[in-house]
Structure 1
Amino acid sequence: MTLTVRPTGGAAEVLCLSGTLDTLAAAVFGQELETHVRHAHGAGRRLIVDLTDLRLVSAAALHVLDLATHHLAASPVLLVIGVPHVRELLLLSPPAGLRVFPTLATALASLSALDRPATAVPAGDGGVLPDRTGTGEADAPAGEREELRREVLGLRARNRTAPLIGTAQGILRERYDLPDADAAFAALRDASQHLNVPLRILASAVVTAPRPRADGPWFPGRRHTPMPVPTLLGVHDPGAADRRTLLGSAVDAVMTYTGADAAEIHLTDPALDNALVLEGHAGLDAAYCDQAAQLTGPPAPAAQARARGEPVLVLDIALDPGLAASSVGRAALAAGSRALHAVPALTDDGTCMGVITVHHEQPGSWMTTAQHTALTTLAADLAAWRSWYRRTVVLDALEHLHTHARTSQRTTPVADSRPDEGAALPARSRAPDARRLRPPEG
């Protein structure tokens, strides 16, 4: 990979790359990109990254681009990329801090427009014309494009969960004197599988729960209560419904009762300052789900509903300047959605446990009074279940983890002294511990 800076004599700085941007070169590229981002913004210039002369762009490089620019939604980096299927991938799942162009000339020509407030461009049918530069070009096989797309989305998903799981591993190592991160991961995995609690949910609980006492149960005096019976949620046997089944039933019920074209359910995560995490959906494509995977604040309607504690209705995404210009708004329009209705899932004391959002392909309000009532009831069912799940199933998983980690801690032999220098260690001491389990790849 060769990197050069091309002067433009104006409001932009052009960073040109040539050669091969493979996985090994991606780390170096990331460091250089962060430096040039700081330099360009400090000088009040727009940064343009020109990848036209690259023969290969790896998924790791696209991941680096996303990480280095995700905070620049208000003043995005302009990316010139000549590989059609990679450009199409970025247009289908647009990173918040990037704007994609097919040539350097079109990127330079857009500078004045980008510095003006964003406006929607009406189409002939009253819709919005999305920027589809490069879409439909078939220079690369469809299978290759789809494989690269899945790889990028997978990298983003792992990047969202890995830090939380790593933090939980560190806590467990310190708390139970575990030998390494592999042993901590094995403890998490065992409790996750035993109680059927997703690993990310359990890691979040480890991070946010109070530190247990040195001896005895983690949560003494805790009473088990049965799962609340939902009013409208389509679960015939509440006691047998696991988390995935219940959330799937919730999405189905939302679609049935509201007549929506698509629906999504987000739940709050205490370890992420109660950010909304996408837990279930129907009728939405992978590109939209990637953008809506974790919502922390406006302009996303779900985040607004959580913050306000009341429903939020967007009659037309295209006519909402802030939402239409955001990555999640653009992804919603690309998925065919025009109207959104987000309802918070509130407990009796007003705590928000999540948000249900329904989509409609036509602008305007479409639900009847009965449908509004059904959606509110489903949100209350969801909140009641989530509150119960946190204080019952998740705490059971923490107790299981605590009990087994303490047992392992007591049974792990500890040497009283180091062997004399030069003395031969017993054969058992030299052998690796075969019981230590490594986390699965990916």
Structure 2
Amino acid sequence: MTSRSPLTVVPATDRVTVVCLTGTLDADGCARLAPELTRHLDSAARRGHRLVLDMTAVPTVDETARRALRDQTAHLAGSPVLVVATPEVRKELEQDDLPGLRPHGTLVEALTSLPPAPAGPVRPPRSGNPPAAEADHLRREIFGLRAKARTSGLIGIAQGMLIARYGLPGPDAAFALLREGSQQCNVPLRVLASAVVTAPPPQTDTRWFVGRGTHPPPPDTAFLRSYTGDVTDRRQIISAALDTAIAVSEADAGEAHLTDAAQDHALFLEGHRGLGADYWDEVALVTGAPVVCAVAQERREPVAVPDVAADDALAAHPAGRALLAAGSRAVYSVPLITPEGHCTGTLTLHRNEPGIWPGATRRAELARLAADVAAWRSWYRRTVVLDALEHLHQNRPGQGAGNS
């Protein structure tokens, strides 16, 4: 376990609380897990919630960890904690009698196992909505929480750094500073928090970066020349790039991921079109193969999967199963490679029919688009994000822009 809290809690809906557990459950981690888990179980019970324990980022659970989990949940045999874990961890959990835990392979499986009528005080059902519609609404509400929970951990780290650096009174003041910088500079809060975590410390009391001169203009690329919006607006750019990629490839759906240096360059889902919430939840934060975008990132070259069902590793993975359930059969992912050779994200396209796709001409167009987007991302990080850090540094409590 890290030195931070072993659990990250996300109060998801009026029926479910999702708690994410990360790291290795060693002796110290188990000692901290017990009171944390008890607290979240008590909180969920008071609110009439079912608890979902997301352990997909836990590589293994030994006998000590299983005993800790059993001791904290044994009284819940009638309404067990829903656990989402990898096949390896599920197998380890099944070695012992754990009546208070019910393992599942995916968040989708865990949610669909809930009874249509939840126990405990909840809001009345929406008028005219049958139980199936209520369950579907619940699933849509909490998809993506895994990534959101890990994002909240990143923001917490940034808050801690700002508290220590600027002598702020506490997390609320640090969050307010992050939020103000995010809003003023139009940089997503998660992106600004990641920059705080990964950037070198400010160079002087009044300047984060000394010697920054005139900002370079955006890269002169075909994509940006055809784009009529604000080049500093991250969401608009990604949306336009995704729409262009889908049009160029004649795809039925698509997704855009960008890397996050503060999360070991994991791929964070930034935009998507088509398919469904169950798939987007599986790829909200991608850390490795066999998810197609992660393979493209690792190889630094386009990756084509003509038939998801025929790719044994992908078809057996939760993301692959979600793809097949959504009707996606062919996938093509192209990495965003900067001129320096760094992969800064991916554009991934989907088709409902299996087969070799797209053709050579379309692939060349997608490669040029990906290079253009990578060039924009590099410029954005060197200008817009650094401006946001500078704004944060110069407008922290007690400093004020006038001292810059």
Whether these two folds match at TM > 0.5 is yes
1:184 corresponds to which letter in structure 2?
A: A
The yes-or-no answer on 1:317 pairing with 2:308 is yes
Asked if the contact 1:339–1:364 (Cα under 8 Å) also holds between the matched residues in 2, the reply is yes
Query: The residue matched to 2:88 in structure 1 has which SS?
Result: coil
Aligned to 2:182: 192
Question: RMSD between aligned alpha carbons?
Answer: 3.9
What's the CA shift for 1:236?
3.1
Aligned to 2:360: 369
2:336 corresponds to which letter in structure 1?
A: A
Structure 2 spans left out of the alignment, 5+ residues: 1-40, 68-72, 95-101, 116-128
1:193 corresponds to which letter in structure 2?
A: Q
What's the CA shift for 1:154?
5.5
Spell out, residue by residue over 1:40-82, the C-alpha distance to the aligned partner (whole angstroms, 9 max, x if none): 9999xxxxx999984x67xxx44xx22xx2473784868xxxx
Identical columns (%):
46
User: Paired residue for 1:400, among 384, 387, 391?
Assistant: 391
Partners of 2:387 and 2:307 in 1: CA distance: 44
Aligned to 2:99: none
Query: Would the alpha carbon gap of residues 230 and 50 (structure 1) be closer, same or farther in structure 2, given more than 3 Å must change?
Result: farther
Partners of 1:264 and 1:302 in 2: CA distance: 9
Partners of 2:198 and 2:170 in 1: CA distance: 21
User: Paired residue for 2:335, among 336, 344, 348?
Assistant: 344
The yes-or-no answer on 1:304 pairing with 2:284 is no
- What are the within-5 Å matches in structure 2 for residues 8-407 of structure 1? 23-24=44-45, 38-39=62-63, 54=78, 61-62=81-82, 65-66=83-84, 69-70=85-86, 72=88, 75=91, 93-94=108-109, 141-153=131-143, 155-223=145-213, 224-232=215-223, 235-237=226-228, 239=230, 242-405=233-396, 407=398
Query: The residue matched to 2:139 in structure 1 has which SS?
Result: helix
Spell out, residue by residue over 1:153-190, the C-alpha distance to the aligned partner (whole angstroms, 9 max, x if none): 26434312110000000000000000010000000000
Query: The residue matched to 1:271 in structure 2 has which SS?
Result: helix
Partners of 1:41 and 1:185 in 2: CA distance: 33
Asked if the contact 2:143–2:280 (Cα under 8 Å) also holds between the matched residues in 1, the reply is no
Partners of 1:259 and 1:272 in 2: CA distance: 32
Partners of 1:364 and 1:100 in 2: CA distance: 35
Partners of 1:359 and 1:255 in 2: CA distance: 9
1:24 corresponds to which letter in structure 2?
A: A
Query: Would the alpha carbon gap of residues 191 and 52 (structure 1) be closer, same or farther in structure 2, given more than 3 Å must change?
Result: closer
State the TM-score, normalized to the length of structure 2: 0.71
Asked if the contact 1:347–1:383 (Cα under 8 Å) also holds between the matched residues in 2, the reply is yes
Query: The residue matched to 1:354 in structure 2 has which SS?
Result: strand
Spell out, residue by residue over 1:270-318, the C-alpha distance to the aligned partner (whole angstroms, 9 max, x if none): 0011000110111121110000011111111111111111111112111
Spell out, residue by residue over 1:316-367, the C-alpha distance to the aligned partner (whole angstroms, 9 max, x if none): 1111111111111111111111111111110111011101111111112122
Query: Would the alpha carbon gap of residues 160 and 28 (structure 1) be closer, same or farther in structure 2, given more than 3 Å must change?
Result: closer
Query: The residue matched to 1:227 in structure 2 has which SS?
Result: coil
Partners of 2:191 and 2:391 in 1: CA distance: 15
Partners of 2:265 and 2:376 in 1: CA distance: 17
- How many pairs were matched up? 329
1:72 corresponds to which letter in structure 2?
A: E
Spell out, residue by residue over 1:399-427, the C-alpha distance to the aligned partner (whole angstroms, 9 max, x if none): 0000111644999xxxxxxxxxxxxxxxx
Query: Would the alpha carbon gap of residues 179 and 53 (structure 1) be closer, same or farther in structure 2, given more than 3 Å must change?
Result: closer
What's the CA shift for 1:370?
1.6
Asked if the contact 1:191–1:401 (Cα under 8 Å) also holds between the matched residues in 2, the reply is yes
Query: Would the alpha carbon gap of residues 327 and 77 (structure 1) be closer, same or farther in structure 2, given more than 3 Å must change?
Result: farther
Query: Would the alpha carbon gap of residues 41 and 71 (structure 1) be closer, same or farther in structure 2, given more than 3 Å must change?
Result: farther
Q: Which has the larger radius of gyration?
A: 1
Aligned to 2:36: none
Structure 1 spans left out of the alignment, 5+ residues: 1-19, 44-48, 79-86, 103-138, 412-442
Asked if the contact 1:164–1:204 (Cα under 8 Å) also holds between the matched residues in 2, the reply is yes
Partners of 1:175 and 1:101 in 2: CA distance: 45
Partners of 1:21 and 1:170 in 2: CA distance: 27
Partners of 2:176 and 2:382 in 1: CA distance: 23
